[in-house]
Structure 1
Amino acid sequence: MTEYGRGPGSEPWHPEDPSYGDGGWGGQQAHAGQQSPYGGQPQQYPQQPQEQQHYGDRGQAQQGGYDQQQYQYYDQQGRQQYTGQTQPPQQYQQGGWDATGTHGQVPYAADPGDPYGQQPVAYGAEQPDFYGTPDAYPPPQPPGRRRPEPEPETDWDPGPDQGEHAFFSGDDDDDDDYDDDPQGRRGRGDRRGKNAKGGKGAKKRRSGCACLVVVLVFGGGLGGVGYIGFQYFQNRFGPAPDYEGSGNGESVTVEIPKGAGGYDIGQKLKAAGVVESVDAFVSAQGANPNGKSIQDGIYTLQKHMSAASAVELMLSPKSRNNLVLAEGLRNSAVYAQIDKRLEVKKGTTEGVAKKQYKTLGLPAWALNHPNLKDPLEGFLYPSSYAVAKGQKPEAVLKSMVARATQKYDELGVEKKAKDLDLNGPWQLLTVASLVQAEGRSHEDFTQMAEVVYNRLKPGNPETFGALEFDSTYNYVKNQSKLDLSIAEVRRYDNPYNTYHVKGLPPGPIDNPGEEAIQGALNPTNDGWYYFISMDGKTTRFTKTYADHEKLVEEWTKSRHKS
């Protein structure tokens, strides 16, 4: 059969209807004797008297429970037209009628007052599936269970203890009489309650002290902000603090480390009381054309100097108190200068060097070489050192050895020694010391280095592996003579005497500078074997012994003339 009536929508709700929902899911009670989808026999429901409601006539009472099938037909207005257990006449089965053949269940007519209803539908019939649609849930509440709409809020007075504080309410102090006003204001005063002591409503007064405190707080805050802003402006844009004049006459010694920049120097001077601020010194150093040339070392200055005068004095040799070591000095000369600067007994520094040389920072390749006159020779690097009274000799020696080690690493003596057919960086340093002792200029150093390398070759046709340098003999004798008797020199048996022993001496014979080391690393390749210094300033080189003898005769004649 076909059902006509209500379309999709919510079913009317009537909480007093005991039959609502009896049909279960899918109308499992559609036929007497039909198997329940939940198992077991169909349940029998006793008949109960039904109260006629606006839902429509429920028809006759069901007979015999649910075992008898009844046919009930309704017109489109919900009025019952036919009820019975046999098929109705044909006119009830066609068009415009709503029939139900379930177990006595009757449909409900549409309720005009139901805002959720649309069209009548047979009670117990299969309902449309709203899953996944906006009508899925929650179902609309029936009118009997709807909550009433909240009433709109009226003007609400939170009271003096819940709303705006009296201080900001704009009331005057005369509001003390507020509670006594017999007119409309009395009602509000009643809500304030009564004071436990006075019996009347509590009166709140705005204290003059509170106002004063607020004013002071705001005033102090503004003052603090202004002060901080002023300080920020002064620090950011104002001139840096600075002393005036060239000092107060009190001398002070300041040591500037190597590599120190303007701010580092300024911090040292400020800590010693020389300048008033670091920024003032940096500014003065930048304003001076030679300010960037300030070197490391020990400076004797005065306290409370202006930054500009401090820069000027540091650029003057008068303030320098450094020990400056020249290129080519032997260790014996360096030790004597250190003793003098430290104001210690002569020979003190040399004794420390001989006893403690292994603890002064020598690299591993500079240790354990036999027959050395001085293990530190070649490692007191020519430079400027801060040496002053009160320092320890070992501290000064450590700084010199560290400077030499750093420079040798920078120049790559350890890596390049093998490329020159030398037995390690120790021999390269020894060659550089020979070049430093015999040469006079950078050009001399490169040519002199070639002379050394050519003579060291065992099969060379000129010297057959012998160096024959006067400088090695003078080193072991601790002298610097030019007129030497070759016969006498050859007879002197000493590992450093290259006239007596072929090859290099046991170690360096002085402390070479960077140019001499560069010459040893980059020799010429012109075939030089001989050289002679004509006037102590100019060195001439030759490739054969015959040419060398001609230069020797020329030099001898020039000396006799003078």
Structure 2
Amino acid sequence: MTEYGRGPGSEPWHPEDPLYGDVGWEGQQGHTGHQPAYGGQPQHQYPQQPQQQEYGDWNNGGPQPYDQQQYDQQQYEPSYDQQQYAGQGQQYGQPNQQAYNEGGWDGTGTHAHIPYAADPGDPYGQQAAAYGAEQPDFYGTPDAYPPPEPPARRRAEPEAEQPDWDPGPDQGEHAFFAGGGADDEDDDEPEGRGDRRGRGGKGAKKEKKSRNGCACLVVLLVFGGGLGGITYFGYQFYQNRYGAAPDYAGAGNSQTVSIEIPKGAGGVEIGRRLKDAGVVKSVDAFVSAFTSSDGDKIQAGAYILKKEMSAENAVEMMLDPKSQANVVVTPGQRNISVYKAIDTKLGLTAGTTRGVAEKDFKTLGLPDWANADGDIKDPLEGFLFPGTYPAAKGMKPASVLKEMVGAADAAYGKFDLDAKAKALKLEDPLQVITVASMVQAEGKTHDDFRKMAEVIYNRLKPTNTQTNQLLQFDSTFNYLKNESNIHISESEINKNQDPYNTYTQKGLPPGPIGSPGSEALAAALNPTSEGWLYFVATDGENNTEFAKTYAEFEKLKDKFNESAGN
């Protein structure tokens, strides 16, 4: 077989050289009769082309035929051979024997894609197109004739355009900004030569410029959008930190709304509730007004407010007792007065709430040990715990009562009343609450409460021979009479045999006579142990004095008569 393309010092081409079988150098260029020995598989054959011009071997100096179209196909466009064997060391017609000998080919004609480092002795090894990468087609137009000089003799071209490939972040410009895109990918497909030659013309340059313009537009939009976003959020940050909070002006419109404020609510929680109800425009505005005034004096409960009020007016109105739609239960207050207050606040007919209490008391959340005595006058007595409760028009009496009973159940549930009742020699927890209600009704000060509780427990003892287990409390008689009279005649008391009359009935009354507060309950659970058996309000109002014997009691009684003018 005849060898071609040899220069001084060059090695003969191996019969398995891919270009040897592909190009078909067999005596002359373009001969198609040769079949390479690649596993018996014929390689792609190009149609015979006329010989245009001969140039010397660029690497070895020997003569080698030059085919203009084949040169363009192999050197500057990814031809079929370059696509299949790109990176195997083939460069400008000189085979790379090391690439073939080191396992680049598996002996069957199949190419194992193994990357190869650039040959340091190759003057074009550092160029991106040296191993199959695509270069711009500078020669695909009629103006390019006569054919360009070989790379070794070519003058430096001005960098008019950048190649349509992405050299990576550290090598050059990204293909997106260089005009590369989906259209460039189509150039990698092996199409006809006439079509390939036309892609390097002016139309492609205009298309690149169009894509460059689109890329710049996209970048401009991105940066413009980012600048707009920064401006917007910067303005919002300034407004939130330094700008005035949104707020209504004036004292509101004609619409009113009921707002319920829970216990322990601060300015933020109150402001949120008011904003949700349409009273104030923003929570921040209310918090500002709340902190700059006496907002911390706003108590829990219900308020009747107007819609669209300024925050300052809302705080001022909530501090005004006239706007409060609450029912306040005070320690020692009887249920009958609580029912009247609820009717008034809810705008109901007198007696409505009391009827609900008598009819639906079992559904209001009373503890299991309540109502242990059939003689109880009011099943809810002692279970409307002292406090402030919302009661605005539109609310149901049962909902207001249920909240009060729930508060009592929670307060009483903090103590083990069953164990306390046994320790105090009482029958059940209900009697503990009954004692606490009597302490609340008779005592005047905190110190009085514990002494008053001891008086009750001492008089209940079977060993009490001085009063014979009669408690003799005016408060129990006044309860059954629904009065508050300290001047009760003995004849009136002695002829009344009601279970709540402790002058004529031994032991405790059937149930509580009011709502005890926390202090009275604590005193009932922890009485003094000093032997107190008698007490007298010597001034008729606030000064209660205690005695251990009947003789001491008589002296206190005389003192009371003197102060009363008897």
**What TM-score, normalized by structure 1, do the two folds share?**
0.65
**What residue is the counterpart of 2:561 in the other structure?**
556
Q: Give the conservation status (yes or no) of the 8 Å contact 1:430–1:507.
A: yes
After superposition, the CA RMSD in angstroms is 3.4
Q: 1:177 to 1:522 in 2, by over 3 A?
A: same
Deviation at 1:253, TM superposition (A): 2.7
**1:503, 1:234 → 2: CA distance?**
73
Larger Rg: 1
2:237 maps to 1:233: yes
**What residue is the counterpart of 1:317 in the other structure?**
321
* Superposed counterparts of 1:49-128, under 5 Å: none
Deviation readout 1:447-467 (Å, 9 max, x if unpaired)? 111111111111123212221
Q: How many residues align structurally?
A: 407
Choose 544-553 or 201-210, whichever is displaced more: 201-210
Deviation at 1:400, TM superposition (A): 0.8
Counterpart pick for 1:282 among 284, 287, 297: 287
Counterpart pick for 2:485 among 473, 481, 485: 481
**What residue is the counterpart of 1:137 in the other structure?**
none
**2:243, 2:415 → 1: CA distance?**
45
**2:327, 2:149 → 1: CA distance?**
99
**What residue is the counterpart of 1:260 in the other structure?**
265
Q: 1:344 to 1:315 in 2, by over 3 A?
A: closer
Choose 336-345 or 228-237, whichever is displaced more: 228-237
**What residue is the counterpart of 2:143 in the other structure?**
180
**What residue is the counterpart of 1:456 in the other structure?**
460
Choose 294-303 or 430-439, whichever is displaced more: 294-303
Query: Residue type of the partner of 1:225?
Result: G
**What residue is the counterpart of 1:358 in the other structure?**
362
Q: Give the conservation status (yes or no) of the 8 Å contact 2:454–2:529.
A: yes
**2:308, 2:477 → 1: CA distance?**
55
**What residue is the counterpart of 1:326 in the other structure?**
330
SS in 2 for 1:429: helix
2:421 maps to 1:417: yes
Deviation at 1:245, TM superposition (A): 4.0
Query: Residue type of the partner of 2:144?
Result: D
Deviation at 1:362, TM superposition (A): 0.4
Query: Residue type of the partner of 1:384?
Result: T
Q: 1:275 to 1:186 in 2, by over 3 A?
A: farther
Q: 1:412 to 1:238 in 2, by over 3 A?
A: farther
Q: 1:210 to 1:184 in 2, by over 3 A?
A: farther
**1:539, 1:291 → 2: CA distance?**
39
2:541 maps to 1:536: yes
Q: Give the conservation status (yes or no) of the 8 Å contact 2:140–2:200.
A: no
**2:194, 2:282 → 1: CA distance?**
67
Choose 467-476 or 357-366, whichever is displaced more: 467-476
SS in 2 for 1:350: helix
Q: 1:357 to 1:181 in 2, by over 3 A?
A: same
**2:535, 2:503 → 1: CA distance?**
16
**What residue is the counterpart of 2:517 in the other structure?**
513
Deviation at 1:549, TM superposition (A): 1.8
Q: 1:176 to 1:362 in 2, by over 3 A?
A: farther
Structure 1: which 5+ runs fail to align?
Answer: 1-144
2:187 maps to 1:218: no
Deviation at 1:433, TM superposition (A): 0.7
Q: Give the conservation status (yes or no) of the 8 Å contact 2:139–2:200.
A: no
Deviation at 1:311, TM superposition (A): 2.8
**1:378, 1:198 → 2: CA distance?**
104
SS in 2 for 1:266: helix
**What TM-score, normalized by structure 2, do the two folds share?**
0.64
Q: 1:478 to 1:209 in 2, by over 3 A?
A: same
Q: 1:196 to 1:397 in 2, by over 3 A?
A: same
Query: Residue type of the partner of 1:547?
Result: E
Deviation at 1:384, TM superposition (A): 0.9
Deviation at 1:229, TM superposition (A): 3.3
Q: 1:392 to 1:152 in 2, by over 3 A?
A: closer
**1:151, 1:244 → 2: CA distance?**
75
Q: Give the conservation status (yes or no) of the 8 Å contact 1:468–1:499.
A: yes
Q: 1:163 to 1:470 in 2, by over 3 A?
A: farther
Deviation at 1:508, TM superposition (A): 0.2
Deviation readout 1:172-214 (Å, 9 max, x if unpaired)? xxx899773347869899x997564995745312217525632
Query: Residue type of the partner of 2:399?
Result: A
2:508 maps to 1:504: yes
**2:524, 2:409 → 1: CA distance?**
17
2:298 maps to 1:294: yes
**What residue is the counterpart of 1:524 in the other structure?**
528
Counterpart pick for 1:445 among 444, 449, 453: 449
**What residue is the counterpart of 1:369 in the other structure?**
373
Structure 2: which 5+ runs fail to align?
Answer: 1-99, 105-115, 120-124, 152-162, 164-186
**2:243, 2:424 → 1: CA distance?**
59
SS in 1 for 2:245: coil
**1:441, 1:163 → 2: CA distance?**
102
**1:183, 1:317 → 2: CA distance?**
105
Deviation at 1:410, TM superposition (A): 3.3
SS in 2 for 1:362: coil
Q: 1:358 to 1:198 in 2, by over 3 A?
A: same
SS in 1 for 2:369: helix
Q: 1:492 to 1:239 in 2, by over 3 A?
A: same
Deviation at 1:426, TM superposition (A): 0.9
SS in 2 for 1:371: coil
**What residue is the counterpart of 1:467 in the other structure?**
471
Deviation at 1:339, TM superposition (A): 1.3
Counterpart pick for 2:387 among 372, 376, 383: 383
**1:406, 1:151 → 2: CA distance?**
84
Counterpart pick for 1:349 among 324, 330, 353: 353
**1:151, 1:525 → 2: CA distance?**
104
Structure with more of its chain in helix, by fraction? 2
**2:307, 2:547 → 1: CA distance?**
60
**2:200, 2:562 → 1: CA distance?**
132
Q: Give the conservation status (yes or no) of the 8 Å contact 1:179–1:186.
A: no
Q: Give the conservation status (yes or no) of the 8 Å contact 1:179–1:185.
A: no
- Percent of aligned positions with the same letter in both sequences? 45
Query: Residue type of the partner of 2:287?
Result: V
Choose 303-312 or 505-514, whichever is displaced more: 303-312
**1:519, 1:334 → 2: CA distance?**
24
**1:556, 1:151 → 2: CA distance?**
122
Query: Residue type of the partner of 1:291?
Result: G
Counterpart pick for 1:397 among 391, 397, 401: 401
SS in 2 for 1:366: coil
